[in-house]
Structure 1
Amino acid sequence: MSSATYVEPAESEPEIALVGGDVTEGDVRVGDTVRRPVGFNAPLVHALLRHLEVAGFAGAPRFLGIDAAGREVLTFVAGEVAGRPRPAWIADEARLASVGRLVRAYDDAAAGFVLPEGVRPFSGLTGLTEQPDMPPAPPYPAELVGHMDFTPDNIVFRDGEAAALIDFDLAKPVSRVDEVCNAMLFWAPLDDPVDADPLLQDVDAPRRCRILADAYGMSDTDRSRLVEVVVLRSRRAWFSMKQIAEAQGGGWARMWQEGAGDQIKRQEAWLERNGAAIETALTAP
């Protein structure tokens, strides 16, 4: 499927640039399709999107093939995305709960996906290696191929409900608690308020974590692991982000140059200070 040539319709459509996100550049809309540069994780992403289509998961674009310009072609997902500046509804708790339900629906659909022979996660991402001083990864096994990039730019809303996910470039095998941690990072948010969007600087982050966990239907075991996992992920993020920026350049390098490494350090310190409050919110009756 990933090598299929996309057959253009008889009538041509204009290309309309799409804006938003931090990394991918060159996305355009053409009629009811989106054209994107083929990413470093394309073999896995194309196979995953095909699986989601067969599984009947409606919350993801369909992969249609490669166009004559060498770009991947996806179905356009209609709806509302939180661009920049963020809309007022970014702090809405009803929308927050719908994010948790969508992540759960995706994870359940992805749980049956098996990597095709010869396909490896991030197979084109060179230079990402373990370093002697890199903190350990969480000790919990992968359960599914997760989306792992639940930024407000990557969730499409319809009628106030999270309805679909876009941009699967960071998909990889992870645990369910990893997926919920990733959603919380962006939507609680789990960050020093100085780095949060102004609309999220004064929210009750532990409460929002509980809303997400409840909407997802998070198990008691995973709730007890979440703070441990998010702290370990944050400690490792500085190393991995630096390597990706050096290996990939582009938007990754721009984010690093703009201070992503310093933000990660502030996030780590904030998590150390607030971890107990988050765990109490998640596990309280």
Structure 2
Amino acid sequence: MFEHEQELTGGNASERVVRKGNTVRKPWLENSATVQAYLGALRAAGVDVPTPLGRDGEGRHVVEFVEGKSALEQLPLGHEDLMRVGRMIRQIHDASKSFAMPDPDGWNVLLPVEHPDLMCHNDLAPWNLIMGDRWVFIDWDGAGPSTRLWDLAYAAQSFGLLVDGQPVHEAALRLRAVVDGYGADIALRTALPAAMAKRTAAMHDLLKSSHETGFQPWADMYVAGHGEHWRGAADYVRQNLPVWDQALTAP
């Protein structure tokens, strides 16, 4: 008997993604073999990530399906949950040190950073965290060469809900919880506010330029609300840099 395939929704940048039994299947990309190896290395180091399951008979990229709810549906997360998220990110980064990073010059990272030195997820955000019996980051297709700072800046800003309209004091407390959970040293804490400002601005610039050139799917995302969201987030983060700095570096 053939297992039914259920189309999965919620992603913005992937082509057709389906669930088949306890697996997720999506198009095999140029980087998929490396992503499968990366997931395997993280699991071998004790990180709970989706089990890589190779390629199916239709040539699709196959990984384990993880049961639970998206963290996006449960925002804002509380202090202890944010601390846990920070610890998870630190575990991923520490385990990634043992994985041989691909040549950055031959790797297409959506938002590249100068002097990458670590293989990273590159989208550690609430929409990619499944919370259930297990807490697991999913959707590793954008993994590639980056840095701790660049990867953490995006995660801390998104989980901290540093976005337009949020009370600044509450956002600062959430930001501090993520970074405390990560166990960031003073150098990383000091560098994070500026990195968050640069990262949010880079996301808006990507969407805006994609709209101007017709580069999909980012062009459609720009007019579907993502452009306005990231413009507001970039302004909010930049305007409150002293608050983030105080939150992260105060005793």
Shorter-normalised TM range: 0.7 to 0.9
Deviation of 1:116 (Å): 5.2
1:21 to 11, 15, 18: 11
Partner secondary structure for residue 65 of structure 1: strand
- Report the number of matched residues: 250
Alpha-carbon separation, structure 1, partners of 2:103 and 2:147: 21
1:66 to 55, 59, 73: 55
- 2:149 equivalent to 1:177: yes
List gaps (5 residues or longer) in structure 1: 1-10, 130-136, 194-199
Deviation of 1:243 (Å): 4.8
The one-letter code of the counterpart of 1:97 is M
Say if 1:190 and 1:205, in contact at 8 Å, map to a contact too. Answer: yes
1:146 is matched with: 120
Say if 1:241 and 1:256, in contact at 8 Å, map to a contact too. Answer: yes
Structure 2 CA distance for partners of 1:49 and 1:183, relative to 1, 3 Å: same
Say if 1:47 and 1:116, in contact at 8 Å, map to a contact too. Answer: no
Instruction: Write out aligned runs for 1:113-132 (5 A).
Output: 113-115=99-101, 120-122=106-108
Deviation of 1:277 (Å): 0.5
Deviation of 1:33 (Å): 1.1
- 2:223 equivalent to 1:241: no
2:80 is matched with: 94
Per-residue deviation, residues 16-57 of structure 1 (Å, max 9, x unmatched):
222223322422111121111224642432332232233332
Which structure has more relative contact order (CA 8 Å, sep 6+)? It is 1
List gaps (5 residues or longer) in structure 2: none
1:253 is matched with: 219
Structure 2 CA distance for partners of 1:204 and 1:103, relative to 1, 3 Å: same
1:219 is matched with: 185
Query: Comparing both structures, which one devotes a greater share of its residues to helix?
Result: 2
Deviation of 1:94 (Å): 2.0
Structure 2 CA distance for partners of 1:117 and 1:144, relative to 1, 3 Å: closer
Per-residue deviation, residues 136-169 of structure 1 (Å, max 9, x unmatched):
x6x6x4331111212222111135xx72110012
1:283 is matched with: 249
Q: What percent of counterpart residues are identical?
A: 31
2:70 is matched with: 81
Per-residue deviation, residues 175-229 of structure 1 (Å, max 9, x unmatched):
2122221112211112212xxxxxx668711111110011000111000001111
